[in-house]
Amino acid sequence: MTPVTTTSTRTPATSSPDDLLEVHVDPSGDVLTEVTDQAVVDDLAVAHSSDVYLPPDPGALAGPDGQPTVDLTTPIQMPPVGSADEIEQRTARTSRLDGLEPTARRGVRRLVTLVLLVPLLALLARILPNLAKDPLLLMYGVAVLTATIVAFYLAYARYDDPSDPRFARVPNDADAPPLSPRPRVTLLVAVMNEIEVIDDCVRSMVTCDYPDLQVVVIDDCSTDGTAERLRELSEHLDFTLLALEDNVGKKNALVAGAKVADGEVIAFTDSDCILAPDALRRCVAALVANPGLGAVSGHARALNADATLLSRVQDTWYEGSFRVSKAAEASLGAVTCVSGPLAVFRRDAIWNYLPAWATDRFLGAEFKFATDRQLTGYVLGQKWLGRRLKERNADSPFVSEVDYPERTWRVGYVRSAKVWTVVPESGRAFFKQQIRWKKSFARNLAFTGRFMWRRGFGPAFLYYGHSMFVILAPVMAVRHLIWAPVNGLWMLTALYVAGVLVKGCAWGVSYMIDHPGSTRWRYRPLMSLISSVLLSWLLPYSLLTIRRGIWSRTL
């Protein structure tokens, strides 16, 4: 595998993180983050504005006939065209609670959250006395309802954006040294046959407002013109292009790119994504201010939010999955999947495990999925499994050249780091995506499930509880949607569907609270129905075909 390398020199961005934060380290090793301006303090609590950002090198790419094919002087609109924020013309809002003293703010948030959870708590209290009468029927529903309440409470009462120095303080369980105040960052993306979306993806990468940035794009033997387009872009935009001669798969392609990475921080995005200009900076700020964090995830929404009814549904689903599920895990320092749209890692948290990631095998065959979950698992579990993984790959330069200590890292989530990704618009593409994700779930359960109990009761409860729900979902679907009607127990089926809708409505209310005035919340209950009635059947099929598959977004 000999890549052809094209390198451009990055022009420093006009805005600097130093305009926002000054980060100091005291003799004890604690990071002290000092905000230099009150207006900037207010800005840090805001996700992003609707400003536009110009690429660093104006000009146009010319086609063979000399006519422009891409106008690089056209700014990338923020929020991107097609996203829910752009469609509804929403702007970021600063919470009134952010003006309170931190201790008072925490108390008010917890009280308000408990008040809003009263309907779900009352429903749980009504069901519990009947649990002894029919535990088989009610246990699953009680467990799901309890887990939902816990997730909402953690997400709204305990989560703070770790990039905001006013409130967030993540314990340094890893006893890790702080990063430099402005660490060098390498941002990588692996590409294969993405001619329709690659221009905006690369442009959003090189126009990130983080100044000390190395951008690396790896073309994994594209055949649709993507490689040629990347060569054209590299003549006008500041990034390093690695054109691989053989198709090696996403993980191996990213590891090939990592070989030229010189950053203290290693970040990844997907080839169908657009990053907000400040998204990477916010993630890096979280790592700098909180040395105990080994990795953080950004916040993803649909780039094609209104393309079809299915994309509308997925957009609200993504919002809840990040805003609630990842926030709940982050409040305990144990986000189990630093998602591909924007995944940001400390170099010392993943470097020694990149060869294990690239050559991961499961059930006797190379496993090409679980790219996000598996790499996150190496960060979460290296204290217990890291030494063994490094010994297996002792000959790799990633291991032999430097041996980083195995630490008990925390993994977080930066809500203000916005990224938009293309979601499937058709049922066929959606189900294929879900099959890939089910396979990733199975692989991750076999790895991360081996150590999550060591990370404490809270992380273990969320992880194993979610795993139980996914595993039992096909059983519950068969019982309530096939067995019950066949035996004339239509009321049982109705109760099951009603329970699914109640949960979906709870998620819809959550969306409504975070996006007042938006009517998109009504799509969220439909996603709950799709998940329980349709997607639950995919797990058995995914397990039966787990050794089959290739890297392709349209698989």
pLDDT in tens, 53-106: 333 333 444 444 444 455 665 668 898 989 998 998 776 667 778 777 888 888
Neighbours of 340 (CB within 10 A): 24
pLDDT at 101: 82
Residue 43 pLDDT greater than 90, yes or no: no
Residues 12-31 have a mean pLDDT of 35
Q: Output the six-digit token pair for 132.
A: 């002894």
Q: Do 250 and 371 form a contact (C-beta atoms < 8 A)?
A: yes
Residue 173 pLDDT greater than 70, yes or no: yes
In terms of Cα–Cα distance, which of 122, 169, 175 is closest to 149? 122
Burial class (CB in 10 A: 0-12, 13-18, 19+), 522: middle
Integer Cα distance of 221 and 171 in angstroms: 43
Predicted confidence band of residue 19 (pLDDT cuts 50, 70, 90)? very low
CA angle 97, 342, 267 (to 5 degrees): 115
Integer Cα distance of 460 and 209 in angstroms: 37
pLDDT greater at residue 5 or residue 492: 492
pLDDT at 34: 35
Give CA separation, 489 vs 217, 472, 484, 530, in Å.
56, 20, 5, 22
Max CA distance (Å), the chain: 78
Residue 117 pLDDT greater than 80, yes or no: yes
Average pLDDT, the chain: 86
Instruction: Specify the pTM.
Output: 0.87
Integer Cα distance of 444 and 465 in angstroms: 14
pLDDT in tens, 454-466: 999 999 999 999 9
Residues 116-126 have a mean pLDDT of 94
pLDDT at 523: 97
Integer Cα distance of 150 and 157 in angstroms: 10
